[in-house]
Structure 1
Amino acid sequence: MIGTLRGLIAEKLSDTLILEVGGVGYELLTTVDDWGAAQVGAETKYYVYEQVKEDAYNLFGFSELSSKLLFAQLLTVQGVGPKGAMSILSAAGENRLRQAIASGDPALLKGISGVGPKTAQRVILDLRGKVEEGTAGLAPLGDSTYQALVALGYTPAQASAAVAAIPDDIKGDADRVKAALKGIGR
């Protein structure tokens, strides 16, 4: 499986990016925000979700691990596939979507093309309590170390405390996760 890709953005197509890695161009479907922020020629890292089907192979790219993890959580909701999850993330934005889920308000989702009232309600009901609200004062949602710890089953409070205890001189996602796990005692 492909977890991340780092390379140069070779092209921006109508709704995808071509990321060149070692001479190979990978076509990534991205959120509207990630597509808008991408600049041709810039070196960028994307967290990747692979969709392998009998008749298709799609790569979904996210500039932040927290977006990929939220995308994966959306896929657990009955009736939401990868393209639907990408539409929801693109239309709502990560933080607004987290706020809507945390507050139990499906109104934001109902206005998204392809998301009916039943699906909107299902997203809220299935993910409420599983998704942290994206506002100031809560854990750093963009911190990949925090997101990795939450994905490993630690509570948001445990993950926040572990991230806060990591010495500033430790850089790199893998090293930060190792340091956090040592701090937790695992």
Structure 2
Amino acid sequence: MYAYIDGRLTFKCPTYIVVETGGVGYQINISLNTYAALGSAERCKIYTWLHVKEDAHTLYGFADEGERRLFLHLISVSGIGPTTCRMMLSSITPNEIQQAIVGADVALIQKIKGIGAKSAQRIILELQDKLKKEGIESLISMPNHNTIKDEALSALIMLGFSKQVAEKALDNVMKKSDGDLTVEQMIKQALKNL
């Protein structure tokens, strides 16, 4: 999988962009949210996800890591594919989607083209606990400069621990240590306490 593509933005329209890097132009499908975030930039760093099917390999691009993570949560819901996710991210902002899921706002999700009542309820049912567990701000806002604690916290959340429990374990590790721990050491110590 490609984590991101950094290069010259050679073409941009509301549905896709072409980013040239290393002499190769990558056509990347985007949402309107990403289109707006790119503005008039000549260079961009676009976070990507590769969808592989029998007849096509399709790249989807996102303005930031938070939008990509929301997209990945949404496609994990049965019956919701990448095209529907892109429609959702084009209809309302990622932050509004996240708040609607956490707040069980079926009506807002149902306003999105292609999402009926059953799909909206399924999205809320399958993702509400996951998004609450990660914390409301963890999905959309990503720290620009991760500290060792931030990286360890992110890893523990990815392993399935709630944000509050993981933070408490990391705080205990930091109190007991002299501050010279690596990310790996911090994670291992926290796992012993969990």
TM range (shorter): 0.7 to 0.9
Shift of 1:181: 4.7
CA distance in 1, matches of 2:102, 2:33: 22
TM-score (norm 1): 0.78
Give the corresponding residue for 2:192. none
Q: Quick check: 1:94–1:134 contact (8 Å CA) kept in 2? A: no
CA distance in 1, matches of 2:165, 2:10: 40
Question: Which is worse superposed, 146-155 or 93-102?
Answer: 146-155
Give the corresponding residue for 1:123. 123
Relative distance call for 1:185 and 1:32 in structure 2 (3 A) is: same
One-letter amino acid matched to 1:104: A
One-letter amino acid matched to 1:6: D
Across the two proteins, how many residue pairs are aligned to each other? 172
**Radius of gyration: which is bigger?**
2
| Unpaired runs of at least 5, structure 1 | 163-177
CA distance in 2, matches of 1:115, 1:104: 15
Give the corresponding residue for 1:92. 92
Relative distance call for 1:182 and 1:94 in structure 2 (3 A) is: farther
Give the corresponding residue for 2:26. 26
Q: Quick check: 2:38–2:63 contact (8 Å CA) kept in 1? A: no
Relative distance call for 1:182 and 1:97 in structure 2 (3 A) is: farther
Give the corresponding residue for 1:142. 141
CA distance in 2, matches of 1:140, 1:119: 21
Relative distance call for 1:14 and 1:128 in structure 2 (3 A) is: closer
Give the corresponding residue for 2:175. none
Deviations 1:78-100 (A, max 9, x none): 11001101111221211111111
Secondary structure of the equivalent of 1:47? strand
Question: Which is worse superposed, 116-125 or 40-49?
Answer: 40-49
In the alignment, is residue 12 of structure 1 matched against residue 18 of structure 2? Answer: no
More helix per residue = 2
Secondary structure of the equivalent of 1:25? strand
Q: Quick check: 2:9–2:17 contact (8 Å CA) kept in 1? A: yes
One-letter amino acid matched to 1:3: A
Of all paired residues, the percent bearing the same amino acid is 31
CA distance in 1, matches of 2:46, 2:167: 23
Relative distance call for 1:3 and 1:104 in structure 2 (3 A) is: same
When the two chains are superposed, the root-mean-square deviation of aligned CA atoms in Å is 2.9
Q: Quick check: 1:10–1:40 contact (8 Å CA) kept in 2? A: no
Deviations 1:5-56 (A, max 9, x none): 1111111134101111111111111121211222455222121110111122
| Unpaired runs of at least 5, structure 2 | 171-180, 190-194
One-letter amino acid matched to 2:103: S
In the alignment, is residue 156 of structure 1 matched against residue 163 of structure 2? Answer: yes
One-letter amino acid matched to 1:8: R
Q: Which residues in structure 2 correspond to 1:37-56 (within 5 Å)?
A: 37-39=37-39, 42-56=42-56
Secondary structure of the equivalent of 1:45? strand
